Structure 1
Amino acid sequence: MTSILTNTSAMSALQTLRAIGSSLADTQDRVSSGFRVSEAADNVAYWSISTTMNSDNKAINAAKDALGVGAAKVDTAYAAMESAIDVVDEIKAKLVTATEESTDKDQINLEVEKLQEQLSAIAQAASFSGENWMVAADDASNTVVVDGFIRNSDGTVKVTTAEFKVASYAMFGTINAGVGEEGILGSVMSIALTSSSTTGDIQVFLDQVEAALSSLTDSGAALGALITRIDLQDDYAATLSDAIETGVSRLVDADMEEESAKLSALQTQQQLAIQSLSIANSSSQNILSLFQG
């Protein structure tokens, strides 16, 4: 039976065209955005996971940037420590030379003074971003640098830090009128040779230098360990960030080859649905021929 009031064929064709249009719009969104899950309505579980992991990844990258700042501070301090060790070695060599009775101790002392000035200059120059780990203030406490970002088992986030004992490892306690005082090199700065200095006096100075070298070595070792820790954490943060990004991509990114094939198929289906609707609409007009004489 054919009805001029209700065209069931046209209604069916229209429903098909609407469904194809909706699928085509979804596919076009995926092609244009690159995401198959771009909002919660697309897939609540995947969207929730990707949102949390993307947030964590941003925090990891921020921690990685902070690691870079920390690494620069440690590298600056380590460079100063290495230079100071070289200078103290020179002072040691001068003192050994002074043990020979025929040497001019006053001239050697002039060289030692210049080396002491160099130690003060090294410590003063070892500053990065307003922090100088080689000169500890009177109220100096341990300093920390960011070395990571973790998520605890209860879901809370935490930034981890590494510690450097500035009060224990600083070359000087203070810099007074350009001259370093106290700290692990304070005793070296008090060395002063005169023409009347005895072998025993020089031996005391050598003992002070050896003690200072030992402390410098300990400080350098602490800095070296911190550098290793930061470098390892920096590499791990980069690897972890890439892994998270890859994991999120697998959840929410669209397969562009698949979406391209779907788009072509849906466009063809849409054309066929339009043609089907046109045929269904024209069937009602054919009834007019039944009333023509």
Structure 2
Amino acid sequence: MTSILTNTSAMSALATLRNINSDLADTQNRVSSGYRVGEASDNVAYWSISTTMNSDNKALNAAQDALGVGAAKVDTAYAATESAIDIVNEIKAKLVTASESSTDKEQINLEVEKLQQQLTAVAQAASFSGENWQISGSNTTTEAKVVDGFIREDNSSVKITTASFNLESYAMFETLASDVGSGGILGAVMTIALTSASTQGDIDGFMTTVETALSSLTDAGAALGALTTRIDLQDDFASSLSDAIESGVSRLVDADMEEESAKLSALQTQQQLAVQSLSIANSSSQNIMTLFRS
């Protein structure tokens, strides 16, 4: 039955065209944005996971940036420790020279004093971004910390992990007064003073002080070296983890461009056919007019 009031064929063709246009719009959006899941309505589960993982990845990248700052602090402290070892070795050599009875111990002491001043200068210069690990009293805590990671627990709680460095055990000085360091690893070295009356027993005592300081400086250098190794390993791991997270999120939300391109071409063809079908359905009702012609 043909009706001039209701054209069911046109209605069906129009519904088909609407569906095709809707699918075509979705496909064009995926092609232009590159996302298969661009908003929550596309896929609630995948969108939620990707949003959380992208947030965690941003935090991980921030932690990696903090690692760079921490590495700079460690490198600064390590450079100061290496320099201090060289200077203390020089003081040790001067004490060996002073052991010779014919030497002028007061002249040698002038050199020792300059070396002691240099130790203070090295400790003062070992500052990065206002933080000095070689003068423990300049810090508000006895343990320096370096941010080295971001972790999301199984219960969805998050935490920031840190690596620590014991300032009390490894700082060159505890305090600085009138540009003279005291306390810490090198506090005793700063008290070394040769005079013409210094005996071999005095010099032997100074040598013991120097050896103790060198041993402590070596331990400090080893601790800093171990911290550097940890930071480097964590930096490499953070880079790999960030890449893995990005890859995982990509699998969830990124559009397959080959598939979307093929689908776009098919939908464009279907759209053209649907338009023609609608045109045919609309024109069919006009054929009834021929029935009323004489």
Contact persistence 1:140–1:167 (CA under 8 A):
no
Q: Does 1:198 align with 2:183?
A: no
Q: CA RMSD in A?
A: 1.2
Match of 2:43 in 1: 43
Q: Does 1:137 align with 2:140?
A: no
Instruction: Go from structure 1 to structure 2 and tell me whether the alpha carbon gap of 1:97 and 1:74 turns closer, same or farther (over 3 Å shift).
Output: same
Shift of 1:186: 0.8
Q: 1:208-247 maps to which residues of 2 (within 5 A)?
A: 208-247=209-248
Distance 2:141 2:269 in 1: 75
Match of 2:20 in 1: 20
Q: SS of the residue aligned with 1:137?
A: helix
Shift of 1:6: 1.7
Shift of 1:196: 2.4
Match of 1:11 in 2: 11
Contact persistence 1:36–1:253 (CA under 8 A):
yes
Shift of 1:153: 2.2
- Give the TM-score of the pair, scaled to structure 2: 0.97
Task: Show CA shifts across 1:25-55 (max 9, x none).
Answer: 1001111111100111111111111111111
Q: 1:104-183 maps to which residues of 2 (within 5 A)?
A: 104-137=104-137, 140-183=141-184
Distance 1:152 1:291 in 2: 80
User: How many residues in Structure 1 have an aligned counterpart in Structure 2?
Assistant: 293
Shift of 1:291: 1.2
Distance 1:141 1:206 in 2: 29
In structure 2, list runs of 5 or more residues that go unmatched: none
Q: Structure 1 residues 33-42 or 101-110, which shifts more? A: 101-110
Task: Show CA shifts across 1:216-240 (max 9, x none).
Answer: 1111111111111111111111110
Distance 2:245 2:136 in 1: 41
Match of 1:63 in 2: 63
Shift of 1:140: 4.7
Distance 1:90 1:250 in 2: 61
In structure 1, list runs of 5 or more residues that go unmatched: none
Distance 2:240 2:90 in 1: 44
Q: SS of the residue aligned with 2:188?
A: helix
Instruction: Go from structure 1 to structure 2 and tell me whether the alpha carbon gap of 1:140 and 1:275 turns closer, same or farther (over 3 Å shift).
Output: closer
What letter matches 2:35 in structure 1? F
Match of 1:30 in 2: 30
Distance 1:136 1:51 in 2: 43
Percent of aligned positions with the same letter in both sequences?
77
Question: Which consecutive segments of 4 or more residues in structure 1 shift more than 6 A?
Answer: none
Task: Show CA shifts across 1:109-161 (max 9, x none).
Answer: 11111111110000000011111110011875212111111112211001011
Match of 1:81 in 2: 81
What letter matches 1:167 in structure 2? E
Shift of 1:15: 1.0
Distance 1:9 1:182 in 2: 96
What letter matches 1:78 in structure 2? Y
